[in-house]
Structure 1
Amino acid sequence: MSTPQILANGWEQIQPADAGWTYISLAVRTLAAGETLELPANDQERALVPLSGVADARSDDTSWTFGGRASVFDGLGHCLYLPRDTAVTVTATTPLELAVAQAPATERHEPVLVTPDDVDIELRGGGNASRQVGSLMLPAFPADRLHVIEVWTPGGNWSSYPPHKHEHDVEGESELEETYYYRLRDPENGWAVQRVYSPERDFDLTQTVRDGDLLLIPWGYHTTVAAHGQDLYYLNVLAGPAPKRTLQAFQDPCLRSSQDTWPEDGIDRRLPFIPRHPAA
């Protein structure tokens, strides 16, 4: 079985064979204005998320124009979901940074363009464990396996806290592979700390992460903390074998009670980081 690991900025793409798992493929492509990316029809469903810039995608007689934010700290995401057996040509209408997530699919669903007006926004946690979650593809989304979520964590705050896991060790817990793709508001100086550890405590990965790094989580409790003054974003992709789409997690029982004070702590006043309709 593969172990959790962090790939430093400079990675180009990961396939299941690279990660030692079964489902998730992920790439981040940088295209100049006018440049194209061809994605062939195959057994993979895809989610295309512009991290910055505007994309034009065309498949057969259908086209979509989406994106537009200057960076992940300047707006909620768009996401174009494409089912299996769909070839698409993506053209950058401006300089474009595009995340392409894939997972094998059995059923063929309909293409869906998710816009910021469709994003499910949640201010989660409390106190210095407050963060903003923008869900592009929740379990109710009409897809086979892919789930795609954006998370913004103010500097000094904890995210994915209390630590949780997706291993199906207990009834109702989902079994999911998971990736975090990190971006920092200050890409030169920003950093965060990621921890992934096993329930038995015989594995413990605690590592500094920087802008552009990628975390692969096949199993284990995991949590992240952004350095003081260093706002953090991560693109969260999940996929697994369960025929029922679910994100049900199991929290570390040793730390679960830490959330009991959240109602009185309240949500960090810096949130929401990214409003649905930014002021003009």
Structure 2
Amino acid sequence: MSNHHRAGALATQDALVTVTPEGAGWDYSGLEVFDLASRPVRRALDGIEGVLVPLSATDVEVSVDGETHTLAGRTGVFEAVSDWIYLPLGSTITISGDAGEVALCTARATERFPLCVTPAQEVSVEVRGGGRASRQVTNIATPDSFTGADRINVCEVLTPGGNVSSWPPHRHDGIGDCAPTNEEIYYFRIGRLDAPHGHPHGQGLFRVYTVDGSSDETVTVFDGDVHIVAAGYHGPSTAQPEYPMYFLNVLAGPGAERTMAFCDDPDHHWIRETWEQQGQDPRLPMTSAAGRVAR
């Protein structure tokens, strides 16, 4: 069965997307996406820690065990970098706002860390890759950018139209000689030209294949799709020329320490050596805390 899910396929009564460890057939990573125009959302984080990221919502109120915090948010994932909040293991939360989407990224955890609100201005943004493999990585709760979590890792990747990311293909499935082990969720939003958020006509491509070659799948990605990557090499994520690609990554695994290490497909590892000569795409970074980066 394919691990690619079309927009709406993982919807539940109060969520646009619901991925649980049980539903994914793994042990740690989860994701819910909510439209705050519907109603306030309440969750008890029993056995899990969370990272809440506004996607296309502003002035988001988050009540955590009775204490309220306000996130400024953003109007869309292609418009700006957002602030975010780390939600401790075992907390009870209520999320409310006038409209727009927010993502609740989760991981099963055993150690409780304190609540933390990170302003957009303090979120690390970097440009990775080179040439047509240039992309923006917004480090939200990654091991190097945020140490106050047990297992969860969260980042955003923005790929300009015509470029690829998740390149070279890589894996972190703990199989054979690849020790890093993380379950990874890709939540895609596909824009159109300068649109601030996803567009219903947007599309891209995404490839996942196993080490032994028993499975090799390239799928067309539409706005709002989800891919659950349990094992195997993944990449490239390909943005069509007029349709920039965004994806939110949620990763967690069994390691004693949080990691986002990976193993390249050895046939393509050499590509990294070419990036310095190619230079990076001048359209990057695409966004900042202040908004879209002018060119």
TM-score (norm 1): 0.93
- Are 1:4 and 1:219, in contact at CA under 8 Å, matched by a contact in 2? no
Residue 41 of structure 2: aligned partner: 37
* Secondary structure, counterpart of 2:275 in structure 1: helix
In the alignment, is residue 60 of structure 1 matched against residue 72 of structure 2? no
Residue 155 of structure 1: aligned partner: 161
| 1:95-120: CA deviation from partner (whole Å, max 9, x where unpaired) | 12111111111101001112211211
Does 163-172 or 71-80 show the bigger shift? 163-172
4+ residue runs over 6 A deviation: none
In the alignment, is residue 276 of structure 1 matched against residue 289 of structure 2? yes
Please state how far the C-alpha of 1:228 moved relative to its aligned partner.
1.5
Measure the CA separation in 1 of the matches of 2:149 and 2:120: 19
Unaligned regions of 5+ residues in structure 1, if any? Answer: none
* Secondary structure, counterpart of 1:26 in structure 2: strand
- Are 1:4 and 1:217, in contact at CA under 8 Å, matched by a contact in 2? no
Q: Which amino acid aligns with 1:123?
A: V
In the alignment, is residue 206 of structure 1 matched against residue 218 of structure 2? yes
Please state how far the C-alpha of 1:150 moved relative to its aligned partner.
0.5
TM-score (norm 2): 0.89
Residue 108 of structure 1: aligned partner: 112
Q: Please, which of 16, 19, 26 is the counterpart of residue 21 of structure 1?
A: 26
Please state how far the C-alpha of 1:212 moved relative to its aligned partner.
0.2
Please state how far the C-alpha of 1:63 moved relative to its aligned partner.
1.8
Taking structure 1 as reference, are residues 208 and 36 closer, same or farther at Cα in structure 2, changes over 3 Å only? same
Q: Please, which of 83, 93, 97 is the counterpart of residue 88 of structure 1?
A: 93
Q: Please, which of 262, 275, 291 is the counterpart of residue 262 of structure 1?
A: 275
Measure the CA separation in 2 of the matches of 1:213 and 1:188: 11
Residue 73 of structure 1: aligned partner: 78
In the alignment, is residue 192 of structure 1 matched against residue 204 of structure 2? yes
Does 35-44 or 174-183 show the bigger shift? 35-44
Measure the CA separation in 2 of the matches of 1:173 and 1:115: 34
* Secondary structure, counterpart of 2:27 in structure 1: coil
Q: Please, which of 236, 246, 251 is the counterpart of residue 238 of structure 1?
A: 251
Measure the CA separation in 1 of the matches of 2:100 and 2:242: 27
Residue 225 of structure 1: aligned partner: 238
Please state how far the C-alpha of 1:60 moved relative to its aligned partner.
3.1
Taking structure 1 as reference, are residues 220 and 4 closer, same or farther at Cα in structure 2, changes over 3 Å only? farther
In the alignment, is residue 8 of structure 1 matched against residue 6 of structure 2? yes
Q: Which amino acid aligns with 2:94?
A: T
- Are 2:30 and 2:250, in contact at CA under 8 Å, matched by a contact in 1? no
* Secondary structure, counterpart of 2:168 in structure 1: strand
Please state how far the C-alpha of 1:168 moved relative to its aligned partner.
2.6
Please state how far the C-alpha of 1:139 moved relative to its aligned partner.
1.1
Q: Please, which of 130, 144, 149 is the counterpart of residue 150 of structure 2?
A: 144
Please state how far the C-alpha of 1:276 moved relative to its aligned partner.
3.5
Q: Which amino acid aligns with 1:96?
A: G
In the alignment, is residue 176 of structure 1 matched against residue 189 of structure 2? no
| 1:242-275: CA deviation from partner (whole Å, max 9, x where unpaired) | 1111111100000111122110111101111003
Please state how far the C-alpha of 1:170 moved relative to its aligned partner.
6.0
Q: Which amino acid aligns with 1:22?
A: D
Q: Which amino acid aligns with 1:122?
A: E
- Are 1:73 and 1:185, in contact at CA under 8 Å, matched by a contact in 2? yes
- Are 2:143 and 2:153, in contact at CA under 8 Å, matched by a contact in 1? yes
| 1:41-87: CA deviation from partner (whole Å, max 9, x where unpaired) | 41111111110112101123422100431110111122211111100
